[in-house]
Amino acid sequence: MQITKTISETREALATSGSHKKIGFVPTMGALHKGHLSLVEKCHLESDFTVVSIYLNPAQFGPQEDLNRYPRNLERDIDLLRSYDADLIFTPDDVQMYPEGYCTWVKVEGLSDILCGASRPGHFRGVATIVLKLIHIINPNLMFMGMKDYQQIIVLEKMIQDLNLETKIVRCPIIRESDGLAISSRNAYLGPEERQRATCLINALKTAQKMVNDGCLDSKILISEAENIIRESDGKIDYIKIVDSSTLQELAEVKSNAKMLLAVYIGNTRLIDNIELLS
């Protein structure tokens, strides 16, 4: 396993060992958990050369957000990736990615301003910019991403389409704890009592899914029931929406391809999750 810190080392490593191979890429911000590792496993199965980036991208955090307390443990991450047989780990620093005078940004308009983008202005501009830079450096055939960050996938797929990139995103299932909580690096912020309350997200989503299976298609009724479940657990709702899963446009009535997406604060921790309501 090779570890590179600079863009030129990374390009050289890929030219030497990765050429003529199907390159699979897992972008991460470190603090690796079972969700990331499932992406690495899938990447390994579906490509010939597995590249993982570890970069805590400051550009996707707002000034009041959790960049400073975001969990970091590079040595542990590297050990884990070694045991998962990654071929190359790219761990750049801020000077590599945003040298002094850096001023070029990518914004996927519209899709970046709704849902999580409405409460986190600039977030998806930061995500699109760093992912485009990483794609240019690594040139992967496949990029593996988890569906917990569903809007992120839709934004990046649109960027890939609009900019005629050849990388294909492989959508990977949400990995959950045994009680259903979607695995996220931010779960580490939850105290024991908050951790218990955090199951309200999956309970709300599953309840809505069951109501749809039982014949209720009215988004207002479904959202109101989900809101009750979150409030019973003292969660603070950022948003709960029912959307078309390709366009992210809100649906007044559930139809095929509909998803419920939500963002909820448990204490000070903002968690997101989603579920398919009708396939």
d(CA 88, CA 50): 6
Is 136 an annotated catalytic residue? no
Q: Among the candidate windows 103-111, 127-135, 249-257, 264-272, which touches ligand PAF by CB under 6 A?
A: 127-135
Instruction: Name the residue type at position 51.
Output: V
Does 271 contact ligand PAF by CB under 6 A?
no
Angle in degrees, CA 67, 38, 179, rounded to 5: 80
Interactions with ligand PAF, residue window 160-189 (CB under 6 A): none
CB 251 within 8 A of CB 219: yes
Q: Among the candidate windows 15-23, 24-32, 40-48, 230-238, which touches ligand PAF by CB under 6 A?
A: 24-32
- Cβ 11 to ligand PAF, closest distance in Å? 19
Beta-ladder partners of 242? 260
What 3-state class would DSSP assign to 194? helix
Does 111 contact ligand PAF by CB under 6 A?
no
Complex with ligand PAF: residue 49 or 124, whichever CB lies closer: 124
Among 51, 81, 131, 204, interactor with ligand PAF by CB under 6 A = 131
Instruction: Name the residue type at position 120.
Output: R
d(CA 28, CA 64): 22
d(CA 10, CA 55): 14
Complex with ligand PAF: residue 57 or 269, whichever CB lies closer: 57
- Cβ 241 to ligand PAF, closest distance in Å? 20
Beta-ladder partners of 144? 170
Residues that bind ligand PAF (CB under 6 A): 27-29, 57, 60, 127, 130-131, 149, 152
Catalytically active residues, by annotation: 36
